[in-house]
């Protein structure tokens, strides 16, 4: 039986970014179309793809426009904070706006557009691993008086996606399905268009047009991926365990140098890595649930991803 996984934010590079590059002008000013009448600087698809638009990390998806939500002051919370001045700030809002532009430009619902990529849009016929609510549930209550959307095991995990937010989530997959999707994704050249340096981000990150640079500093995925030989091809690595008996090397403060790999992470656990030099592609399918049913913290999740990759690196290097 093939397990089914909620891809969460892997929808960004696998669905939204390819559609945006296929259908939208990357450099046209979209301020007025998106309701940002008070914004002084242009707002472009290129900025949205690279998280360099200056938008904050998150707002609840309630049906109200992003521009209207941003006019209101909100209490302090990491998800509700402003963007870092002059730096790319990872934000679900960028991809929510890309989905709005795609629907407007094509006249086709976003889920239907995305279905052509080969993944499964929600609601799904089966359910992925159920996870408890994360920080977005607490932020939701601070940002709106609207009730939190009810849970549905066949809808995406996070609160925004449960409310129907397109662009940054909403797609799921089994391992064979993802393998087929990635083969088309790579063959079509989409990750090569995303793996271009576009914006310097917070805490030393570097964003392309849908993927970010993997650095080779201590404890970082680029360090581990450097052991994968050229010509390794495409691999989907699945780990259905909830084993916490693993650890990853500590993260050093120095990020190191660009490793040649680019990547994206999904909040629910999956991860995606791509190397343009030889078009090697590795996807991880795992979930963020701890043995007690709780939500794994960021470090425990990094350790789980590291363990799966380290086993593959050992096998591939002989």
What is the per-residue pLDDT across 107-132, written as a single tens digit (0 to 9) for each?
Answer: 999 999 999 999 999 999 999 999 99
pLDDT (average), residues 230-246? 85
* Residue range(s) defining the domain that contains residue 12: 5-119+130-171
Same domain? 208 vs 81: no
pLDDT (average), residues 209-236? 96
Identify each DSSP E strand in 223-286 by its residue range.
234-238, 258-265, 271-275, 280-285
With respect to residue 177, please indicate whether it lies within any of the assigned structural domains: yes
- In this predicted structure, what is the pLDDT of residue 2? 86
- In this predicted structure, what is the pLDDT of residue 33? 95
Q: Residue 243 pLDDT > 90, yes or no?
A: no
Same domain? 20 vs 157: yes
Same domain? 223 vs 136: no
With respect to residue 125, please indicate whether it lies within any of the assigned structural domains: no
pLDDT in tens, 119-170: 999 999 999 999 999 999 999 999 999 999 999 999 999 999 999 899 999 9
Output the furthest CA–CA distance in the chain (Å, rounded): 58
pLDDT (average), residues 202-215? 97
Same domain? 156 vs 276: no
Q: Residue 77 pLDDT > 90, yes or no?
A: yes
Same domain? 187 vs 234: yes
**Domain count of the fold of the chain:** 2
With respect to residue 21, please indicate whether it lies within any of the assigned structural domains: yes
Q: Residue 256 pLDDT > 70, yes or no?
A: yes
pLDDT (average), residues 168-189? 97
Same domain? 153 vs 182: no
Q: Residue 318 pLDDT > 60, yes or no?
A: no
For 25-59, letters b (16+ CB in 10 Å) and e give eeeeebbeebbbeebeeebbbbbbbbbbbbbbbbb
Closest-CA residue to 220 (of 231, 204, 198):
204
- In this predicted structure, what is the pLDDT of residue 123? 95
């Amino acid at each position: 039986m093939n397990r089914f996984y909620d891809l969460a934010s892997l929808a960004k590079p696998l669905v939204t970014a390819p559609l945006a590059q296929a259908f939208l002008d990357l450099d046209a000013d979209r301020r007025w179309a998106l309701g940002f009448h008070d914004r002084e600087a242009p707002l472009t698809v290129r900025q949205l793809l690279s998280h360099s638009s200056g938008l904050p990390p998150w707002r609840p998806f309630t049906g109200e426009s992003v521009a209207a939500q941003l006019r209101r002051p909100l209490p302090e919370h990491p998800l509700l904070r402003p963007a870092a001045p002059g730096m790319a700030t990872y934000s679900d809002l960028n991809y929510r706006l890309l989905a709005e532009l795609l629907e407007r430009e094509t006249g086709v619902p976003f889920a239907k557009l995305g279905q052509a990529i080969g993944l499964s849009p929600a609601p799904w016929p089966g359910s992925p691993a159920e996870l408890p609510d994360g920080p977005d549930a607490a932020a939701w209550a601070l940002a709106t008086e609207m009730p939190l959307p009810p849970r549905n095991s066949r809808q995406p995990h996070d609160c925004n996606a449960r409310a129907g937010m397109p662009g940054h989530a909403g797609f799921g997959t089994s391992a064979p399905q993802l393998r087929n999707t990635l083969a088309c994704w790579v063959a079509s050249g989409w990750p090569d268009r995303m793996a271009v340096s576009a914006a310097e981000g917070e805490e030393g990150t570097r964003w392309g047009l849908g993927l970010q640079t993997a650095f080779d500093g201590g404890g970082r995925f680029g360090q581990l991926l450097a052991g994968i030989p050229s010509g390794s091809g495409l691999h989907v690595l699945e780990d259905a365990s909830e084993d916490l008996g693993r650890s990853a090397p500590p993260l050093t403060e120095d990020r190191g140098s660009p490793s040649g790999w680019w990547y994206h992470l999904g909040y629910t656990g999956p991860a995606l890595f791509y190397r343009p030099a030889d078009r090697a592609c590795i996807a991880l399918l795992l979930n963020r649930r701890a043995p007690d049913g709780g939500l794994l913290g960021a470090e425990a999740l990094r350790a789980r991803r590291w363990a799966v990759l380290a086993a593959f690196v050992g096998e591939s290097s002989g």
